[in-house]
Structure 1
Amino acid sequence: MPRTKTTAARKTASKAAAGDVINLDNYAPAYLTWIANKLSSGASQAYLAAFDVGIESWRVLVLLAIEGSISAQKACGVIGMDKASMSRCFKSMQARGFIELALDPQDGRARIATLTPSGRAMHDQIRDIAMERERVFMSVLSAAERKLLLDLLRRLHENLPAVEAATRDHLTRHHPHALQRRGSRDAES
């Protein structure tokens, strides 16, 4: 028994020597990342196997089913994809006949995607799988818990600009060189 305590004491001392660590059991970003990654990966595998449609195309189909048409820039902002990925996604979806692309009449450089009947039909087929995945995912929660979870997630999503502002402030104070690197990368894209 004393040997176990000694081993545990050494592990604790080892962690302390390495500095403070994040307790993943109480770190919300870890859970959100794990859940998002696993949900996206599972959905992508299912949609690719059944329809040869990846998760990025599915997300654009969802937006277009809601909006009817959307600019690449707005789609990037909603989904969180970078411009290059969105451009490739739009080209692929256009080649498959899911969307039509046209220049934005108010901004001749921006492209607007419009959902085609074929794209709508694909959306409707995938939607059934997506809704079943959500139903099972949320089935461990009561109706009140589901409502509360969605309310909390909306609030967290709306708070993301504050998180980015706090990150910039922290970098400015503690790692100013990082902002220079980040700025040069943003200028390149």
Structure 2
Amino acid sequence: MTRHEPVPFALGDFFPYRLAVLAERVSMAVAQLYADRFGISRAEWRVLAALGVNAAMAARDISAYSTLDKMQVSRAVARLEEAGLVTRATDDADRRAKILTLTPAGRALFRKIVPLAKAREEDLLQDLNAEERAVLEQAMDKVLARAQGLVERG
């Protein structure tokens, strides 16, 4: 039996891991608002928000916009449609695609959640001064651009 020397590695210090933990905790902190008060999931909120900002979108475009996979979007859309918050119509340009829009009830719910989400965002960032917030924004933009470049290069 061969013994392998442990590789010095601390997962808790690994940037991608720390970022994933941060993203999950922040997302959970915001999700509490709409899950508890309105009974919708994170995936449903992301679809609702994508449509609230963009008015109408194809389901495939929501995946890229919301960072949800195709199945998550499909399930969220089905639940939102069942709840009367989203409608789907055939895309005239591509008969195979479905265009999604918010119903009046969906738009009303979106308008109710946005101020709550923005208030939670402010609460999350309250310990950062203006300069720290600007540095955080710049750092996130730089890391995102770098990551996108690495993904594109393969």
Query: What range is the shorter-chain TM-score in?
Result: 0.7 to 0.9
Q: Which position in structure 2 is the counterpart of 1:24?
A: 12
1:151 aligned to 2:110? no
Deviation for aligned residue 1:153: 1.4
Deviation for aligned residue 1:165: 4.7
Helix, strand or coil at the partner of 2:128:
coil
Contact 2:59 2:99 in 1 (8 A): yes
Deviation for aligned residue 1:99: 1.3
- Normalised by the size of structure 1, how large is the TM-score? 0.72
1:68 aligned to 2:55? yes
Mapped to 2, the partners of 1:39 and 1:62 lie a distance apart of: 17
Alignment root-mean-square deviation, CA: 2.0
Deviation for aligned residue 1:151: 2.4
Mapped to 2, the partners of 1:159 and 1:111 lie a distance apart of: 33
Mapped to 2, the partners of 1:155 and 1:59 lie a distance apart of: 24
Helix, strand or coil at the partner of 1:108:
coil
1:128 aligned to 2:115? yes
Q: How many residues are matched?
A: 151
Deviation for aligned residue 1:23: 5.8
1:161 aligned to 2:129? no
Structure 1: 5+ residue stretches without partners: 1-15, 169-189
Helix, strand or coil at the partner of 2:16:
helix
Structure 1 vs Structure 2: percent identity of aligned residues?
A: 27
Q: Which position in structure 1 is the counterpart of 2:65?
A: 78
Structure 2 matches for 1:37-186, cutoff 5 A? 37-165=24-152, 168=154
Of 143-152 and 67-76, more deviation after overlay is shown by 143-152
Change (3 A) 1:74 1:155: farther
Structure 2: 5+ residue stretches without partners: none
Contact 2:11 2:17 in 1 (8 A): no
- Higher relative contact order (Cα pairs below 8 Å, separated by 6+ residues): 2
The one-letter code of the counterpart of 1:65 is: G
Contact 2:56 2:100 in 1 (8 A): yes
